[in-house]
Amino acid sequence: MRNGHRTTIKYTSLIILIVALFRFWVSHVNVPLKCYSDEEGNKGIEYGPTALELQSEHVLLNFISKRTLHEPLFIIVLADSGRVGSSLLAELLSSDTNTILFFEPLFKLNKSPKLENGTFVSQFLEKVLNCTYDDKFEKWFKYHVLFRRFYHPVVKDCQKTKNETDCVKHVDFRGLCKASTVRIIKVIRSPLMSVEKLLNRQDLNLRILHLQRDPRAALSSINKIGWKARPQKICTQMLANTLAFEAFVQKHPSKLHKVRYEDLCQYPRDTVSKIYSFLWNNSTIPEPVVNYIASHMETEKNVKGPMSRTKDSKNEAQAWRREIKDTLFMDAEKEFTCRMSIERYGHRVFWSVVDLRNPKIPIALYEDEERN
């Protein structure tokens, strides 16, 4: 009996200690109880009782027993280069409720050697996803007009006011970040290898969408808007990302998903449904995202401009075959890394401008090519 009494005292003391520690914790931390999604498709975070509300051990222990941890979902849309459709995909996903989008945060480090440092890039992106970035980054992001407008509907609505800058000044960017249930980052300035450390983290609710496009199409678009198209540089990075994806997906199949721009354009609902199945284990596309697809991709209205995301996407998939300059096309197909990337992508190397322009010659190497 004496040993049993001592054991009871030990467990009682342990419970009291846990309760005391827990009380201290909830008095200093805003505790999320669970993520919710109502019938109207709205998402949010339900917070648990505050320290003042936890007046008794009964309430406290009841809260402990019911509390479930649901961390925000982190999504990195990582594109092989610019002009492969990353703005379209990132904005499409961010059209869902209670979602924020950090549009190219690595642009702040443009041309910096730090972009080649995988440890630095991983730490930088993790701080952004966790809303723990420093004040200098927030100031840069907040006043970078192009990037901030993708962040959240509240920020976008500031465009409708008389003084957009003044409106943005009063927006709590970090507060919106912490309240969001889905946080998206668009990355085009760092290779897939640079986020390997994030993939290896078991404590992050992370998914990476690797967005790919035929390198000739990307080069054509790059050239069209006046950027310098370098086949060797672009294709080397594409091939490196492809090989890294093939290696990483073997180790982290639940964290990586390949998205082909051509599939997104030609079969938007089917492709997005597969993305949602990967992200949530549920292929149902939320209504706001369905509306985005209808208004931006399934439309006869083509809004011109280098950053336009509103067009008939089915006609966009192979438009480059009519538009690419002959010399750029030949330079791309002469480049070994481009040919490797094209063939691994499942597309045909045409070898001649005549065959390129012939719509009767399919771009897919195999008729039964599987769409990912």
pLDDT digit string (tens) for 84-110?
999 999 999 999 999 999 999 999 888
CB 249 within 8 A of CB 69: no
Tell me the domain boundaries of the chain.
2-66, 73-212+257-312
Q: Phi and psi dihedrals of 82, rounded to 5?
A: -75, 160
Q: Which range (52-56, 185-189, 227-231) has the least confidence?
A: 52-56
The tens digit of pLDDT for each residue in 342-353 reads 999 999 999 999
50 backbone φψ class: left, alpha, beta (φ>0; ψ -120 to 50): beta
Tell me how far apart the alpha carbons of residues 118 and 264 are, in angstroms, rounded to a whole number.
29
Query: 189 or 295: which carries more pLDDT confidence?
Result: 295
Q: Enter the pTM of the model.
A: 0.79
65 — pLDDT class (breaks 50, 70, 90): very low
Contacts of 18 (CB under 8 A, 6+ apart): none
What's the pLDDT at 125?
96
Tell me how far apart the alpha carbons of residues 241 and 188 are, in angstroms, rounded to a whole number.
11
Structure tokens of 110? 């443009």
Mean pLDDT of the chain: 84
115 — pLDDT class (breaks 50, 70, 90): confident
State the pairing for strand pair 206-212/182-187. unpaired
The tens digit of pLDDT for each residue in 233-250 reads 999 999 999 999 999 999
Question: Which long-range contacts does 288-296 make (Cβ < 8 Å, 24+ apart)?
Answer: 288/41, 288/95, 288/96, 288/97, 289/92, 289/93, 289/95, 289/96, 291/95, 292/91, 292/92, 292/95, 293/92, 293/268, 293/269, 296/88, 296/92
40 backbone φψ class: left, alpha, beta (φ>0; ψ -120 to 50): alpha
What's the pLDDT at 237?
95
The runs of H, that is alpha helices, within the chain are 2-28, 57-66, 86-94, 118-129, 135-142, 145-148, 153-156, 164-169, 173-179, 196-199, 215-224, 231-251, 261-266, 268-280, 287-296, 313-316, 320-323, 326-334, 336-344, 353-357
Q: Which range (72-81, 93-102, 303-312) has the least confidence?
A: 303-312
Chain centre to alpha carbon of residue 37? 20
Q: Which range (18-22, 69-73, 317-321) has the least confidence?
A: 18-22
What's the pLDDT at 354?
97
State what percent of residues in the chain have pLDDT above 90.
67
